[in-house]
Amino acid sequence: MSTSEADLLYSEVEEELRASVRALLADKCAPAGVLARVDGEAGPLTDTALWQDLCGLGVAGLPVPEALGGAGAGWREAAVVAEELGRAVAPVPFLGSAVLSTAALLAVGDSPTAAATLGRMASGEATVALAVPLSAPPGAAFPDTVRAAADGLSGTVTKVADATTADALLVPAVGTDGPGLYLADASEAVRTPLVTLDLTRPLVDVGLDRTPARPVVTGRAAEHALRTALRTGAALLSAEQLGVAEWALGTTVDYLKTRTQFGRPVGSFQAPKHRLADLWVSVSQARAVVRNAASTAGAGADDTEAEMAAALAQAFVSGVAVTAAEEAVQLHGGIGFTWEHPAHLYLKRAKSDAIALGTADRHRSALAGMVDLPAGAE
């Protein structure tokens, strides 16, 4: 087994990127503002203006080569952005477009359609949703719910993330040439919004009926591209989960320093202290696991280290995020149980993220296979 360790620290450039994203989000994406969007009091849920501002900082094209109009950085940098977006539960199509679709198109290889699309996505001109169920784990079989034929794509894909405002859909479909990835104009599809547990990430069911689409790649290359996309998505999602956990921990620590019961700050009692200390330990472990996954995320489809790192990240960090958010609600007491307090937005995001791109249990099973620890007698 390979032992060369990934760089688990943040670079100076990454910290600068973090600072500018965080400053923008502090200004334009305060929790109260997100809540107002959730309540429909501040326009549609997806904050397209904020997304444009973020694209202005280059966040949509970080791993995209400069030649294609991107920043020529990598997934490590993108992961830092994901952390900050998680910390703000920002309702922007980063995961769907800048991660899942981008990773798929980057993995496609030589394709003028992919190159042109990546350029438009990197500049913020267009967003593209990868039409797979958000729950799909990286190792899943190539989806066969959509058929590709001469007259277009037909079929349905359920629970697609970030497709509400997407300009295009990148659709895995099976045709006479076998599996393929196809690009369709989103307005040609029927998008049925769903009532979601995570109030800040919209999901739709996508219905396709002889929908015109251009093939981007077919055959084994399409399978590889999809697998790479889901695996990269799982790695980057763990960065978002880290951000969720960090917000939950930090906000709760701040609250318990000032909330007084029994004549003293609640944070001075040993019970909450120990729990927050335990949580801090988990979050710092999560940070290392996330850095590891982000560092290997750019690798090709059969890279075992990348596969393992992403599986490990989802097996570990999704639980940390859920625990952190649950602790935030609990330790805020009655206030944490109200709609007005933003803790629930993080709870809902964390719990949904724990299902997205494979549950921890599926990732543990995948890991078991990779490290030769079979479940039962042969």
Partner 1 sequence: MTTAPAGATIDAAGLRQRVADVVAAHDPATTDPAELLAARFDAGLAWVHFPEGEGGLGAPRALQSVVDAEFERLGATPAGREKLIIGLGMAAPTILAFGTPEQRRRYLKPLYVGEEVWCQLFSEPGAGSDLAALGTRAVRDGEEWVVDGQKVWTSLAHRARWAILVTRTDPDVPKHQGMTYFICDMRAPGVEVRPLRQLTGEAEFNEVYLTDVRIPDSQRLGAVGEGWRVAQTTLMNERVSIGGTAEPREGGLIGIAAGIWRSRPEARTPGLHDALMRLWVEAEAARLTKERLRQQLAIGQPGPEGSAAKLAFARLNQEIAGLEVELLGAEGLTYDDWTLRRPERVGMEARGAGYRYLRSRGNSIEGGTSEILRNIIAERVLGLPGDIRVDKDVAWKDLPK
Ligand X SMILES: Cc1cc2nc3c(=O)[nH]c(=O)nc-3n(C[C@H](O)[C@H](O)[C@H](O)COP(=O)(O)OP(=O)(O)OC[C@H]3O[C@@H](n4cnc5c(N)ncnc54)[C@H](O)[C@@H]3O)c2cc1C
The one segment of 62-70, 87-95, 262-270, 306-314 that binds partner 1 by CB under 8 A: 262-270
The amino acid sitting at 106 is L
Q: Is 30 in the site for partner 1 (CB under 8 A)?
A: no
Which of 263, 372, 377, 378 is close enough to bind partner 1 by CB under 8 A? 263
Location of structure tokens 């940070």:
287
Instruction: Give the nearest distance from C-beta 253 to ligand X in angstroms.
Output: 12
Determine the residue with CB nearest ligand X.
Answer: 333
Q: Helix, strand, or coil here: 19?
A: helix
What residues numbered 353-372 form the site for partner 1, per CB under 8 A?
354-356, 359-362, 364-365
Contact between 278 and partner 1 by CB under 8 A: the answer reads no
Does residue 275 belong to the site contacting ligand X (CB under 6 A)?
A: no
By CB under 8 A, residue 156 contacts partner 1: no
Binders in 280-339 for ligand X, by CB under 6 A:
330-331, 333-334, 337
Q: Give burial (CB, 10 Å; 0-12/13-18/19+) of 104.
A: buried
Total chain residues near ligand X (CB under 6 A): 12
Least separation in angstroms between residue 233's CB and partner 1 is 15
Q: Is 231 in the site for partner 1 (CB under 8 A)?
A: no
Q: Return the sign of the alpha-carbon dihedral for residues 146, 206, 239, 64.
A: positive
268 binds ligand X (CB under 6 A): no
Judged on CB neighbours under 10 Å (0-12, 13-18, 19+), 148 is buried
CA dihedral 348, 354, 355, 358 (to 10 degrees): 160
Specify whether the CB–CB gap between 241 and 357 falls below 8 A: no
Q: Is 269 in the site for ligand X (CB under 6 A)?
A: yes
Nearest to 62 by CA among 37, 79, 50: 79
Q: Which residue has the tokens 């670079």?
A: 11
Confirm if 149 and 119 have CB atoms less than 8 A apart.
no
The helix/strand/coil state of 39 is: coil
Region of 7-15, 138-146, 229-237, 322-330 interacting with partner 1 (CB under 8 A): 322-330
How many CA atoms within 13 Å lie on the side-chain side of 12?
0
Task: Please report whether residue 141 would count as binding partner 1 according to CB under 8 A.
Answer: no
The residues that touch partner 1, with contacts defined as CB under 8 A, are: 133-135, 158-159, 194-199, 203, 260-264, 266, 269, 271-272, 322, 326, 329-330, 333-334, 336-341, 343-344, 347-348, 351-352, 354-356, 359-362, 364-365, 375-376
The residues that touch ligand X, with contacts defined as CB under 6 A, are: 259, 261-262, 266, 269, 271-272, 330-331, 333-334, 337
